[in-house]
Amino acid sequence: MNKDLKRLLNTKVDYYNQPSFIPADPVCVPHLFTKQQDIEIAGFFAAIFAWGNRTTIINKSKELMQLMEMQPLEFVLHRSPSDLKRLQSFKHRTFTAEDLYHFIAFFHQHYSKNESLESAFFPKKKMTVEEGLNYFKAYCFSTEHLKRTEKHVSSPQQKSSCKRLNMFLRWMVRKDEKGVDFGIWNNIQSKDLICPLDVHVSRVARQLGMLQRKQDDWEAAVELTNNLRTLDANDPVKYDFALFSMGVIENKLN
């Protein structure tokens, strides 16, 4: 990659990877909490809901947290039938209360035996992100569930770019001195993450010559990340701040 491109993207990262980025982004939802497990649960739902208008994503995520009385871990571990009944009318696009009940049951099962959600993705060290995402999908749906709920969790095995889960992993794994990402997981490192790829990021990446593949799939996400590693081998996904912001906030590349 040429020096001018690296300079441009580093400038954008420095500008956007700041606390001022948080309030208008879904990452603001897990930032409402301090306990690790609450951060994980809130972050997971905010990421899963992250398609469409960002204001709506944030509002629906906060609505769910309020229904959980701003104690997501306590809620999933100790919810009562009346607590669950409060959730009956919850809906975000195609995500319904039926889907929500599955994830609450999953979190109940997982946190009853595990301290962190990290082991649901990376039960051992030195796993790749691809292995972790495939493992999570199989684990998440290893109990009885509605088939329709599976569409809310993508995996590389399905050739998906896994944009939302890669964003969630960025939040949980990336060590960020600016305080946007949490960096609370340790079984994989920032250098191993895959850049979240959506239509905005892919459009900017193609126009900058960083992505040749035409489909927005897992191979494209890996291709882009490998190119970003030539700019920063230890923290390639920091450039998500630059590519996303240039595509959505600035929208200067047409």
Question: Which amino acid type is present at position 243?
Answer: L
Q: Which DSSP state fits 144?
A: S
The closest of 59, 47, 240 to 153, measured between CA atoms, is 47
> What tens digit of pLDDT does each residue of 4-52 get?
899 999 999 999 999 999 999 999 999 999 999 999 999 999 999 998 8
Domain coordinates in residue numbering, the chain: 3-250
CA 44 to CA 165: how far, in whole Å? Answer: 8
211 and 187 Cβ atoms separated by less than 8 Å: no
Residues 170-192: pLDDT tens digits? Answer: 999 999 999 999 999 999 999 99
Check whether 94 has a pLDDT greater than 80. Answer: yes
Between the alpha carbon of residue 60 and those of residues 34, 132, 194, the distances in Å are 20, 27, 26
